[in-house]
Amino acid sequence: MLIEIENLSVTFHAQGRVVRAVQDVSLSVNARESFGLVGESGSGKSTILRAICGLAPISGGSIRINGKPIATPRGKAFSRQVQMVFQDPYASLHPRHTIDRTLSEPLAIHGLPGTDQRISQALTDVGLPTAFRFRYPHQLSGGQRQRVAIARALMLEPEILLLDEPTSALDASVQAETLNLLSRLRAERGLTFLMVSHDLAVIDHMCDRVLVMQHGRAVEELTREALASAQMKTDYARALFAASADRMLQG
């Protein structure tokens, strides 16, 4: 198992209120597997990804990568291994940094050589012309920005990519291109995906196994086969499936 999460709980304390965003969630992901987390907003699915990255306060349970508990604070070794792609490419890229600066920063921090060549390669890999290097984010479309965000995450050649709703801010047609890009990169580089989405169809297209979440708890884990043949045991998973399947036209 590459990623093992056991009884993870995340609790926020805000103005005297206690919010249990994630409660006792366990999951494990094999190397080169693609694992999906699905649920409505507020179900805690993104919080799990943030907890792995050290962006959310863990109040219980453990996270292990390659059998070793992850270090707190997450060090350089962690970022070489795990990277995250955020939901909104309009908000996740620095508006006043050129694409070149955004992509070269991880290399500078980790003291890696060959910046120039690596950046050109990274842009080519995500299907962008190398001339985009000296543009600013506002000069790119949403789909192009998300490609830059993916290129940034891949600069350090991580094994694990955490994807937080990578296509939900994009148009249907641009979503297809971005999903194709992610599938291709996973096949080429043997990446492991832990992907969050509220769209069951996207998760089904991308992932081998799915964990359905609601109100911070795990509801049901499904394999892709069980999902396709609608063999879910819990009512909530079935309702979510119905809401998604509802949108599919026959034909």
Partner 1 sequence: MSQLSVKNLRVTFDTEAGRVEAVRGVSFDLGRERLGIVGESGSGKTMTGRAVLRLIRPPGKIEADQMMFDGVDLMKASEREMRALRGPRIAMVMQDPKYSLNPVMKVGSQLMEGLRQRDRVSKAEAHAAAIAALTAVQIRDPERVMEAYPHELSGGMGQRVMIAMMLIPNPDLLIADEPTSALDVTVQAEVLSILDNLVKTRGMGLIFISHDLRLVARFCDRVLVMYKGKVVEELAARDLMQAKHPYTQGLLNCLPRIGGDRGPLPSLDRDAAWAV
Task: Report the candidate in 250, 210, 251 with the shortest Cα–Cα distance to residue 234.
Answer: 210
Q: Indicate the burial class of 101 (C-beta count within 10 angstroms; 0-12, 13-18, 19 or more).
A: middle
φ, ψ of residue 40 in degrees (nearest 5): -80, 175
Looking at residue 50, the DSSP 8-state letter turns out to be H
Looking at residue 38, the DSSP 8-state letter turns out to be E
C-beta of 78 vs 241, nearer to partner 1: 241
Over the Cα atoms of the chain, what is R_g?
A: 18
Q: Which helix (H) or strand (E) holds 178?
A: helix 172-189
In the complex, what is the shortest distance from the CB of residue 96 to partner 1, in angstroms, rounded to a whole number?
22
Binding string, residues 118-157; x marks residues near partner 1 by CB under 8 A: -----------------------xx---------------
Residue of 174, 189, 215, 238 interacting with partner 1 (CB under 8 A): 174
Q: Is 69 helix (H, G, I), strand (E, B) or coil?
A: strand
Residue of 14, 67, 173, 188 interacting with partner 1 (CB under 8 A): 173
Distance, in Å, from the CA atom of 183 to the CA atom of 168, rounded to the nearest integer, reads 16
| 243 is a contact residue toward partner 1 (CB under 8 A) | yes
Distance, in Å, from the CA atom of 165 to the CA atom of 54, rounded to the nearest integer, reads 18
| 171 is a contact residue toward partner 1 (CB under 8 A) | yes
| 217 is a contact residue toward partner 1 (CB under 8 A) | no
Residue of 88, 179, 215, 238 interacting with partner 1 (CB under 8 A): 179
Q: For residue 249, what are the CA distances in angstroms to 172, 222, 243, 246?
A: 15, 23, 13, 8
Residue of 180, 223, 231, 234 interacting with partner 1 (CB under 8 A): 180
C-beta of 40 vs 116, nearer to partner 1: 40
Residue of 28, 90, 183, 221 interacting with partner 1 (CB under 8 A): 183
Residue of 175, 192, 213, 232 interacting with partner 1 (CB under 8 A): 175
| 229 is a contact residue toward partner 1 (CB under 8 A) | yes
Please count the residues of this chain forming the interface with partner 1, following the rule CB under 8 A: 38
In the complex, what is the shortest distance from the CB of residue 167 to partner 1, in angstroms, rounded to a whole number?
10
Amino acid (1-letter code) at residue 210: V
Centre a 10 Å sphere on the Cβ of residue 177 and count the other Cβ atoms it contains: 16
Residues forming contacts to partner 1 in the complex (CB under 8 A) are 40-42, 141-142, 171-177, 179-180, 183-184, 198-202, 204-206, 227-229, 239-241, 243-249, 251
